[in-house]
Amino acid sequence: MGSTEQNVLYSNDNIPRTVSVPSFYMDETEVANVHYREYLYWVNRVFGADFPEVYRNALPDSLSWRRELAYNEPYVEYYFRYPAYDFYPVIGVTWVQANEYCKWRTDRVNEGIMVDQGVLEKNNNQIGQDNFNTGAYIVGQYEGMVNKNLKDLSPNGTGRRKVRIEDGILLPEYRLPTEAEWEYASLALIGNNPYEGEETITDRKIYPWNNDVLRDSKHGSWQGDFLANYKRDRGDNMGIAGGLNDAADITAPIYSYMPNDFGLYNMAGNVSEWVMDIYRPYTFYDDVDFNSFRGNVFDKDSLDEDFAHVDKDSLGRVVKIPVTEQENINRLNYKKSNVIDYLDGDSSSWNEYQYGVSSLINNKARVYKGASWSDRAYWMSPGTRRYLDENQDLATLGFRCAMARLGSPMGNETKAGNYFKVKSNKKLDSRGYKKANK
pLDDT for 292-338, tens place per residue? Answer: 999 999 999 999 888 889 989 999 999 999 999 999 989 988 888 99
Single out the residue of 15, 16, 369, 4 nearest to residue 211, CA to CA.
Answer: 4
Q: What percent of the chain clears pLDDT 90, i.e. is strictly above it?
A: 58
Can you tell me the distance from the alpha carbon of 122 to that of 50, in angstroms, rounded to the nearest whole number?
22
pLDDT for 66-84, tens place per residue? Answer: 999 999 999 999 999 999 9
The whole-number pLDDT of residue 285 equals 53
Pair 373, 395: CB distance under 8 Å:
no
Cα of 207 vs its chain's centroid, Å: 20
Using the predicted structure, report yes or no on whether residue 344 has a pLDDT greater than 80.
no
Q: What percent of the chain clears pLDDT 70, i.e. is strictly above it?
A: 87
Using the predicted structure, report yes or no on whether residue 286 has a pLDDT greater than 60.
no
- pLDDT, mean of residues 381-406: 96
DSSP 137-187: HHTTS---SBS-PEE---TTS-SEE---GGGT-SPPPPBPPPHHHHHHHHH
Terminal-to-terminal C-alpha distance of the chain: 43
Can you tell me the distance from the alpha carbon of 247 to that of 252, in angstroms, rounded to the nearest whole number?
8
Q: Which residues contact 168 (CB under 8 A, 6 or more apart)?
A: none
Upper half-sphere CA count for residue 139 (Cβ side, 13 Å): 19
Residue 153, judged by CB atoms within 10 A of its CB (0-12, 13-18, 19+), counts as exposed
Mean pLDDT is lowest, of 10-24, 317-331, 394-408, for 10-24
DSSP 180-225: HHHHHHHH-GGGG-SSTT--------SSSSSSS-SB--SSGGGTT-
The whole-number pLDDT of residue 429 equals 46
- DSSP label of 355: B
The whole-number pLDDT of residue 7 equals 78
Mean pLDDT is lowest, of 111-115, 178-182, 321-325, for 321-325
Q: Return the H-helix or E-strand segment holding 367.
A: strand 365-369
Buried/exposed 23-39: b ≥16 CB within 10 Å, e otherwise: ebebbbbbbbbebbeeb
Pair 246, 252: CB distance under 8 Å:
yes
What residue type is assigned to position 248 of the chain?
A: A
Can you tell me the distance from the alpha carbon of 427 to that of 438, in angstroms, rounded to the nearest whole number?
10
Cα of 280 vs its chain's centroid, Å: 19
**Triad 295, 20, 209: Cα angle to 5°:** 100
Q: Which residues contact 63 (CB under 8 A, 6 or more apart)?
A: 76, 92
Mean pLDDT is lowest, of 372-376, 378-382, 403-407, 425-429, for 425-429
Radius of gyration of the chain (CA): 24
Using the predicted structure, report yes or no on whether residue 121 has a pLDDT greater than 70.
yes
The whole-number pLDDT of residue 437 equals 40
Mean pLDDT is lowest, of 114-118, 217-221, 352-356, for 217-221
Pair 251, 89: CB distance under 8 Å:
yes
Can you tell me the distance from the alpha carbon of 86 to that of 267, in angstroms, rounded to the nearest whole number?
20
Can you tell me the distance from the alpha carbon of 281 to that of 2, in angstroms, rounded to the nearest whole number?
12
Position 422 confidence tier, pLDDT thresholds 50, 70, 90: very low
Q: Return the H-helix or E-strand segment holding 299.
A: strand 299-301
The whole-number pLDDT of residue 431 equals 41
Pair 360, 218: CB distance under 8 Å:
no
The rounded mean pLDDT for the chain is 86
Pair 271, 372: CB distance under 8 Å:
yes
Using the predicted structure, report yes or no on whether residue 28 has a pLDDT greater than 60.
yes
